[in-house]
Amino acid sequence: MPRRLQSVPNFSEGRREGVVRDIIEAATTPGLKVLDWSSDPDHNRSVVTVVGEPEAVLAGLRAMTARAVSLIDLRTHRGSHPRMGAMDVVPLIPLLEMTMDEAVALADRLARELAAAHDLPVYLYGEAATRPAHRDLSRVREGQFEGLAAVIGRPERRPDYGPARLHPTAGATAVGARGPLVAFNVNLSTPDVAVAKRIARQIRESGGGLPAVRAIGLALAGRDETQVSMNLVDFRRTSLGVAYRAVAEAAAAAGVGVTSSEIVGLAPAEALLAEAAGALRLAGFSSGQVLELRLLEEDEAPAGLEEGSRPR
């Protein structure tokens, strides 16, 4: 079975469609597929999902970063989402026939290569972090592009690779390794960003809220709404439904409503199926009962298995 690595690079451009497409098209390389991408003009940010053979994924990420560094100037960039770099964050997620240790080694190598190629400060985060504080991406990105410039020379804020100064236009980049997560946003019917920030503080793990939930409150000026933007870093500990209901209940207590929710990028089927099974109170439900998933399993199974031999 071929080895498969996933990456979900986030870069700081969500308004200029031509620039977004240019950066994504740079990832075109044999052995790599772009599965999904989305841009948000309020965030002024794009999120891409790529998967493929490990070396092909690294080649695509190097090409995308080179294009982002050349096309994005953070000195004029404005958006509601926190950011410190043109190519802001590059997580590596091990999939088929890969271990987390291998993903960590690849993250370290990629960080070193990007720093050398672009004279760019690069931090390691998540499972690849070399310092406990840097396991949390928000700690790495604290201060954003503007604030990081003043503190990057301090010992505790120095990058793992590259110069202890920001790239003049491309800032800094974080490269890491992690498991699959769900990027989940809930939009609120109020333009008051203080409400969204208060709810985010209330529900995130670091504030004593839901386990394995990272959350921030953002303004959506183009929609006259606000957003609680979440990363469910372990959807088995806190599901989509639990996270949604926590936000909705906190919003109702604040006198505002929920207008919509959204998943950014791709989500594991297990996260969505578990939510459906819970909502319908399905007894004994398994992914083997989903027609399309069962067909995929059969396509990958070795010949000769008898009907009904697969565990349910």
The residues annotated as belonging to the active site are 81
SS3 35: strand
Backbone angles phi and psi of 154, in degrees to 5: -70, 145
List the beta strands (DSSP E) in 158-294. 173-177, 182-188, 213-220, 225-232, 258-264
**Rounded alpha-carbon distances, angstroms, from residue 291 to 280, 287, 297, 302, 307:** 18, 9, 10, 19, 15
SS3 219: strand
| CB neighbourhood size of 164 (10 A) | 12
Parallel, antiparallel, or unpaired: how do β-strands 87-94 and 173-177 relate?
parallel
SS3 260: strand
List the beta strands (DSSP E) in 142-279. 173-177, 182-188, 213-220, 225-232, 258-264
State how far the Cα of 218 lies from the Cα of 222, in Å rounded to an integer: 12
Length of the chain: 312
